[in-house]
Amino acid sequence: MDTRAAAWAVPRHVRRRRTGRRIALTSAFLLFAGLSVVLGCRTADTDAITPVPQLLAFLPWLLIPLGVALLISVYTHWWFGALWGVVLLGLLAWFLQPYGRTGDPVGPAYAELRVLTANVEFGQGTDALVDAVRREEPDLVFVQECEQSCEKILRRDLAKTYPNRQAVEGGGSEGSVILSRFPLRAAKGVKGTMGMPGAVAEVKGVDVRLQLAHPMPPVPGQVGLWRKELAALHDAVAQDDKTPTVLAGDFNASQDHAAFRPLLDTGLRDAARLAGSGRTPSWPSRTTPTFGVQIDHVLVSEDFTSREARFLDLSGTDHRALLADLTLHRAG
72 three-state secondary structure: helix
Interatomic CA distance for residues 81 and 70, integer angstroms = 7
Shared domain for 280 and 245, answered yes or no, is yes
pLDDT at 107: 83
pLDDT at 241: 86
pLDDT at 173: 95
Identify the DSSP state of 217: P
Shared domain for 84 and 141, answered yes or no, is no
Shared domain for 280 and 202, answered yes or no, is yes
- The answer as to whether 147 is a domain residue is yes
pLDDT at 161: 96
pLDDT at 1: 52
Task: Supply the range of the domain harboring residue 286.
Answer: 109-329
pLDDT, tens digit only, all 332 positions of the chain = 555 555 556 788 777 888 888 999 999 999 999 999 999 999 999 999 999 999 999 999 999 999 999 999 999 999 999 999 999 999 999 999 999 877 776 689 999 999 999 999 999 999 999 999 999 999 999 999 999 999 999 999 999 999 999 999 999 999 999 999 999 999 999 999 999 999 999 999 999 999 999 999 999 999 999 999 999 999 999 999 899 999 999 999 999 999 999 999 999 999 999 999 989 999 999 999 999 999 999 999 999 999 999 999 999 999 999 999 999 998 75
Q: Which of 303, 319, 310 is nearest to 276 (CA)?
A: 310
Number of domains composing the chain: 2
Shared domain for 162 and 282, answered yes or no, is yes
Shared domain for 273 and 136, answered yes or no, is yes
pLDDT at 9: 66
pLDDT at 80: 96
- The answer as to whether 101 is a domain residue is no
Interatomic CA distance for residues 230 and 215, integer angstroms = 6
- Cβ-proximal residues to 110 (8 Å cutoff; 6+ apart), any chain: 204, 206, 327, 328, 329, 330
